[in-house]
Chains A and B, each alone.
Chain A
Amino acid sequence: EDKVVQSPLSLVVHEGDTVTLNCSYEVTNFRSLLWYKQEKKAPTFLFMLTSSGIEKKSGRLSSILDKKELFSILNITATQTGDSAIYLCAIRSDQNQFYFGTGTSLTVIP
């Protein structure tokens, strides 16, 4: 059965902390792994990862994929209150189907 597991389910940190969010998966016909940030409304796209070991970076956010161990991490450095959100991991299959994890709820306290 295809599945995507995210951990932790929730996290509370102080501004300035660094956080690491985890995503492991078991999906046949893997095509890519995607990270989304969801605040009050719809998820917004952050990163797409297709190759192992290549870090994607955007400002204070970075992510890397390990296709051998079937996981990805999303790092956020120097967290700010605006980083408070649910972070979703999804796998896209070759058949263009998407499998979502339950998300990690991040709260950043001033």
Chain B
Amino acid sequence: NAGVTQTPKFQVLKTGQSMTLQCAQDMNHNSMYWYRQDPGMGLRLIYYSASEGTTDKGEVPNGYNVSRLNKREFSLRLESAAPSQTSVYFCASSEYSPGYTFGSGTRLTVV
């Protein structure tokens, strides 16, 4: 099925560990995004990529890095995980059609 695929769905990390969240879309969209969702905070933009080869910081970029590997893939890396990064992470893509298409989310717990 066409859409946005995120992996993994669940992850538990120890403080200081690193990991990469993977995201791929097969809709030929130019723009891709990483959001985190925390209770009472709504969706907050971490990084986005308007097109292949470009990335920009969003509202809460500290502690994260991203790579737009090609038009399909946009990964999010936590170099040294902290408990404050416990959250649900969503990848999304968009083009000039209405709204986003979201991935199913990654529930990350940092202990």
Contact = CB atoms under 8 A, between A and B. Distances in A.
B98 A102 contact: no
Interface in B68-111: 90, 94, 98-105
Given A45-B98, A96-B50, A97-B48, A102 B41 contact: yes
A101 B43 CA distance: 7
Contact of B90 (A42, A45, A97): A42
Given A96-B50, A97-B48, A45 B42 contact: no
Counting contact residues on chain B (CB < 8 A from A), the size range is 20 to 34
A41 B45 contact: no
A48 B94 CA distance: 14
A36 B37 CA distance: 14
Contacts of A48: 98-99
B53 interface: no
A88 B98 contact: no
Nearest to A34: B99
Counting contact residues on chain A (CB < 8 A from B), the size range is 20 to 34
B45 A88 contact: no
Contact of B42 (A32, A42, A96, A101): A101
Contact of A32 (B44, B98, B103): B98
A42 B103 contact: yes
Contacts of B34: none
B101 to A, nearest CB: 8
B104 A41 contact: yes
A71 interface: no
Interface of B: 31, 33, 35, 40-45, 48, 50, 90, 94, 98-105
27 contacts: A34-B98, A36-B99, A41-B104, A41-B105, A42-B90, A42-B102, A42-B103, A42-B104, A43-B43, A43-B102, A45-B101, A48-B98, A88-B42, A90-B99, A96-B31, A97-B45, A98-B33, A98-B45, A98-B94, A98-B100, A100-B35, A100-B42, A100-B43, A101-B42, A102-B40, A102-B42, A103-B42
